[in-house]
Amino acid sequence: MLVFLLVAGLVALVAGGELLVRGASGLGRACGLSPLVVGATVVATATSAPELAVSVDATLSGSPGLAVGNAVGSNTVNILLVLGVAALVRPQTGDRALLRLDLPVALGLAVALLVLGLDGGLGRWDGALLTLGVLGYLAAAVVRGRRAPAEEASPGDPHPVRDVLALLAGVGLLVLGANWLVDSASTIAASLGLSDLVIGLTVVSVGTALPEITTAVLAAVKGDTQLAVGNVVGSNVANIGMVLGIPALALPGGIAVDPAAVRFDVPVMAAATVALGVVLWTGSLVSRPEGAVLLAWFVAYTAYLVLDSADHDALGPFSAVLLWFCLPVTVVAAAGLAVREVRAGRGAGPGRERRA
């Protein structure tokens, strides 16, 4: 029964996220926003709704580790898994504004979460700061989008009534799916001896990131290579500022932050954000080989979490290989690519693209 509720919760979240994305995208295009801005604002906020629903329900249910693990894990999943899969389908592109505004805001909120969580919790003032951060970002992104040339926008054929109905139906499915997912995941975690934080960082974060994965893959198949990058970065901003900020602001006790998340998972999320910035800076493009590397690091990160939660004997050798071999190789390869792009005159500015 628990497995059925877990699967049903994930299905409800995916269906609700799909309806939310469809309605939000339609309303965004009707406002004349470009695909990148629609992805970074309207779609990103919509696809972060599952994380918000799960975090609120988890906090009210007495599982704050699930709430924090869900938000932080979803951000890591967005970069490593969502963009990795999308880049394998088709290389993903960004633009200069993404590096100037979106990525710095995402990294800034990650650092803010790291600092604010040092005392073991997010109170109302912390929640207010994070919420103001995401609201300011959304306002700046919309202003940027409205100033974009008309040819970059995709107004489409507006259907406001249909879009609003899709939004309402999506919210209903998200709330229902969040309840099922949190209850079943918490019970399964307890029976397996896993902490709420680990379950939030793995099963729940991947489950609530399915709308982003679906959106990114469909956009890549259709040739819209900017929507996925904007969606991922915007979702990461919303996952910290909205998913953690709003519950911390609204709930009397705020949100407890597991010290393990501050020591490891939040820094990993920040490192993934920096890595994405480096990848985009070297040509405003996430190529297929880079997508494969992102996917490989997602597998390694997930394996580390599972081994660590089980206190497995293989954790030591596995960590040593990651730290002393995989990480240096990745850094050296990234540095070499950056130097090559700069010497070729293609890495001097983020607006230039390189071949896939």
Closest C-alpha to 180, from 39, 309, 12:
12
Asked, for residue 355, whether it belongs to a domain, the answer is no
Asked, for residue 230, whether it belongs to a domain, the answer is yes
Phi-psi region of 32 (alpha: psi -120 to 50; beta: other; left: phi over 0): left
12 burial via Cβ count (<10 Å: 0-12, 13-18, 19+) = buried
| Residue carrying structure tokens 């975090």 | 55
The pLDDT of residue 232 is 83
CA distance 240 to 238: 5
Asked, for residue 179, whether it belongs to a domain, the answer is yes
Quick check: 182 and 13 in contact, CB under 8 A?
Answer: no
Give the tens place of pLDDT for each residue, 71-97: 888 888 889 988 888 888 888 877 777
| 99 residue type, one letter | L
Q: How many domains does the chain have?
A: 1
CATH number where 48 lies = 1.20.1420.30
For residue 49 the two structure tokens come to 């709704």
Asked, for residue 71, whether it belongs to a domain, the answer is yes
Cα atoms found within 13 Å of the Cα of residue 176, Cβ hemisphere only: 14
CA distance 200 to 10: 13
Asked, for residue 35, whether it belongs to a domain, the answer is yes
Domain carrying residue 178: 2-343
The pLDDT of residue 355 is 47
218 burial via Cβ count (<10 Å: 0-12, 13-18, 19+) = middle
Give the number of residues written for the chain.
356
The pLDDT of residue 128 is 92
The pLDDT of residue 158 is 63
Asked, for residue 350, whether it belongs to a domain, the answer is no
- Entry pTM: 0.75
Neighbours of 231 (CB within 10 A): 34
The pLDDT of residue 116 is 92
Q: How do the pLDDT tens digits run along the chain, 356 residues long?
A: 778 888 888 788 778 767 776 776 676 667 666 666 766 677 677 767 777 777 777 777 777 777 788 788 888 888 998 888 888 888 887 777 778 888 899 999 999 999 999 988 888 999 999 999 988 988 887 777 665 554 444 445 567 788 778 877 877 887 787 678 767 876 777 777 777 667 777 777 777 666 667 767 777 777 777 777 877 888 888 889 888 888 888 888 788 888 888 888 888 898 888 888 888 877 667 888 888 888 998 888 888 887 887 777 888 888 888 777 777 877 777 677 666 666 665 444 444 445 44
For residue 44 the two structure tokens come to 């990103």
The pLDDT of residue 345 is 57
The pLDDT of residue 318 is 83
CA distance 220 to 40: 16
Asked, for residue 284, whether it belongs to a domain, the answer is yes
The pLDDT of residue 32 is 65
